[in-house]
């Protein structure tokens, strides 16, 4: 009887063990099914932009459906290689031209004094000659001739002093401002008049140390500090001094009076070197910065984009560049690149978290 009870208890334990194993197996099957039904990255059911890697690139491909591209306002444009003028980034300083005004006025006053001295000398010379003739004919005493001669010699010395003053001012103008502006001060040229009347401003542009340009620059491009715009500068002449903060070759340019520049302002200036540079033009809106480098996104196909490194050593302005390392005919993202970078970064972060 005791043996029978023991046998039945063993059978009951075995049955309970079998039921427990069956339950565990059924639960594992349900988990496997749930996992298999989850949307996978990159599938049409997924609402996120997920990157995938291809065998021929280390950069991830970010995928966006046409609807997602429209939602973020993504725009692309095909770029073609062309020849562009090579430019150097230089330092510009808008000068105070009060010294030019002072020299111009001083020269004008000296000219007036010279004309006065010439007129007085002519009168004194005529008076001296007339008096001398009268003295010789005994019509006047000799003392009158001596007085007239003294006046003549004094006016002659005054004329010499006026001429010397005029030459000194002309030389000073050329020493301080160079032959073009210096001669303009002497002749009161239209350039100097426009500078004095503030129709134009004088900008001193200094190249980086060791940088030279071929011939004369002709024109240059400056950035307006007060508004997002480019300013056309017209070449005037070589500068007579360098900027002590830069210590490079320096030039004088003129800027329009309504450009937003004012005396005392500093600005970035792009000076053509005289050489050409082959590449594609890339606007600032297409460029993203990541990990200390500059990138653009190239379209791979209708719904895929890949980040592509570029070099920004050839600026066209503060934010636009001519880039050599983009194949001609490539289609780049010009609006929405920052969103693609954010999605790529978030996807990379999710991938790292899953691996942990």
Model pLDDT for residues 285-335, shown as the tens digit of each residue:
899 988 889 999 999 999 999 999 998 877 766 567 888 888 888 999 999
State residue 229's pLDDT score: 73
Q: Is residue 210 left, alpha or beta, with left meaning phi > 0 and alpha meaning psi from -120 to 50?
A: left
Instruction: Inform me whether the pLDDT recorded for 60 exceeds 90.
Output: no
State residue 25's pLDDT score: 44
Greater model confidence, 246 or 224? 246
pLDDT band at 15 (very low <50, low <70, confident <90, very high): very low
Mean pLDDT of the chain: 80
Mean pLDDT score, 116-121: 88
State residue 1's pLDDT score: 44
pLDDT band at 155 (very low <50, low <70, confident <90, very high): confident
State residue 274's pLDDT score: 82
Instruction: Inform me whether the pLDDT recorded for 269 exceeds 70.
Output: yes
Window from 122-136, 163-177, 244-258 with minimum mean pLDDT: 122-136
Q: Which CATH architecture has domain 89-95+198-276?
A: Beta Barrel (2.40)
Structure tokens at 9: 């208890």
Instruction: Inform me whether the pLDDT recorded for 214 exceeds 80.
Output: yes
Window from 47-56, 183-192, 225-234, 347-356 with minimum mean pLDDT: 47-56
User: CA–CA distance from 93 to each of 142, 206, 255 (Å)?
Assistant: 67, 9, 11
Window from 74-78, 219-223, 344-348, 352-356 with minimum mean pLDDT: 352-356
């Amino acid at each position: 009887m005791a043996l029978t009870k023991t046998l039945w208890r063993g059978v009951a334990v075995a049955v309970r063990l079998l039921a427990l194993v069956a339950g565990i197996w059924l639960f594992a099957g349900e988990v496997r099914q749930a996992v298999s039904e989850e949307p996978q990255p990159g599938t049409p059911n997924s609402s996120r932009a997920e990157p995938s890697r291809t065998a021929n690139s280390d950069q991830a491909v970010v995928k966006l459906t046409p609807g997602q591209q429209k939602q973020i306002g993504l725009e692309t444009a095909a770029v073609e290689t062309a020849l562009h003028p090579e430019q150097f980034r230089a330092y510009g300083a808008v000068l105070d031209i009060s010294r030019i005004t002072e020299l111009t006025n001083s020269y004008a006053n000296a000219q007036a004094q010279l004309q006065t001295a010439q007129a007085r000398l002519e009168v004194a010379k005529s008076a001296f000659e007339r008096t001398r003739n009268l003295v010789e004919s005994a019509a006047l005493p000799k003392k009158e001739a001596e007085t007239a001669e003294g006046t003549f010699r004094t006016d002659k010395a005054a004329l010499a002093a006026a001429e010397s003053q005029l030459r000194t001012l002309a030389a000073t103008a050329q020493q301080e401002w160079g032959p073009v502006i210096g001669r303009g001060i002497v002749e009161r040229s239209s350039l100097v008049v426009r500078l004095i009347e503030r129709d134009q401003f004088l900008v001193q542009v200094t190249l980086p140390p060791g940088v030279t340009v071929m011939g004369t620059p002709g024109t240059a491009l400056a950035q307006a500090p007060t508004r997002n715009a480019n300013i056309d500068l017209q070449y005037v002449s070589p500068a007579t001094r360098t900027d002590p903060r830069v210590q490079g070759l320096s030039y004088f340019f003129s800027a329009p009076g309504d450009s937003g520049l004012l005396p005392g302002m500093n600005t970035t200036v792009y000076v053509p070197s005289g050489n050409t540079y082959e590449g594609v033009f890339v606007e600032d809106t297409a460029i993203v910065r990541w990990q200390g480098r500059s990138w653009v996104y190239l379209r791979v196909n209708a719904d895929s984009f890949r980040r592509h490194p570029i070099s920004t050593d050839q600026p066209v302005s503060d934010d636009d560049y001519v880039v050599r390392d983009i194949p001609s005919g490539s289609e780049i993202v010009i609006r929405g690149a920052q969103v693609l970078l954010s999605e790529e970064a978030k996807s990379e972060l999710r991938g790292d978290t899953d691996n942990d």
